[in-house]
Amino acid sequence: MQSAVSEKPPWWLWPTILSLDAPAVALLWQALLAGAVPAVIGAPERFVLGCSVWLAYAADRWIEGWRLAPDRIRTWRHAFHVRWRWEIFIVWAGVLALDVAVAWRGLTRVEFRNGLLLLLAVAAYLLSHQLVHRSSRWRAPKEACVAALIAAGSALFLLGLPGAANLALPLGLFTLLCFANCVLISVWEFEVDRSHGQTSLALRFRQATTVSRALLWLIGAGSAALFLAGSTGLRPAAACAGASALLLGLVDLAERRAGRVLARVLADVALMTPAVPLLCWRLL
């Protein structure tokens, strides 16, 4: 059977199709949060985080595509994972082997243990949301699970370090940003999730749009308060969280005109605001 998505995707969609946007967001926020501790993130920690996030997203889309009949697929990212299923599986297995090897040789024992715990959480999410509880109305919202896992991964190698208590507020803002991002996408992709047989907050609650917009105001207010009252080390994270909330709000306003596909890409770009201070720090 022919996929419902047949035309060639636009060039700017390829980072999303290849599951590269989420690792970029996680790595940028990992580097920004490190400045709040402060701490220096090593190359193994960056490599393991980037690969692990990619593995989780690619696995989620691979399983989703495997379960779907081709004529029900409504996104290029899922169509790609169906079209190149076994090639992606081989690449995925290779990245997994490399990820484990770098983690084994480059991480400390505590970092490796914490990474295993997060791996179990990711595996539990995939098992629950893609297989066991896929159709359950009362399963934990996937938007909340994804937000928590991305935020936890970004802070994973900073926990336990001196000054890690400074992460509480900026990490909380980042988690809310990820959640708002996921909820907005579920609103825009309402018909996609229904066609794919997925459960989302937008399908379960009519107030999902109102909740996501209220969250953006909450994040903005919290970011402003942290910027004004927090220490110098917390201000870059506060500024980035506030800027990301503003950008997400603007993308939401433009979604009807831009379309859900472009809006989804821009929603992830809106979370990449740490690139600005990180670039400035490198140039100075």
pLDDT digits (tens, 9 = 90+) for 162-197: 889 999 999 999 999 999 999 999 999 988 888 887
Long-range contacts of 103-112 (CB under 8 A, 24+ apart): 103/44, 103/48, 105/44, 106/42, 106/43, 106/44, 106/45, 106/47, 106/48, 107/44, 107/45, 107/48, 107/157, 110/160, 111/45, 111/156, 111/157
- The residue among 27, 39, 28, 26 whose CA lies nearest residue 166 is 39
pLDDT in tens, 197-239: 777 878 788 788 898 999 999 999 999 999 999 888 899 999 9
User: Is the predicted pLDDT of residue 2 greater than 50, yes or no?
Assistant: no
Whose structure tokens read 């472009």?
262
Torsion 24-29-32-33 (CA) sign: negative
Confidence at residue 134, expressed as pLDDT on a 0 to 100 scale? 60
Its pTM stands at 0.93
Tokens of 169: 């507020």
How is the chain split into domains, by residue range? 11-273
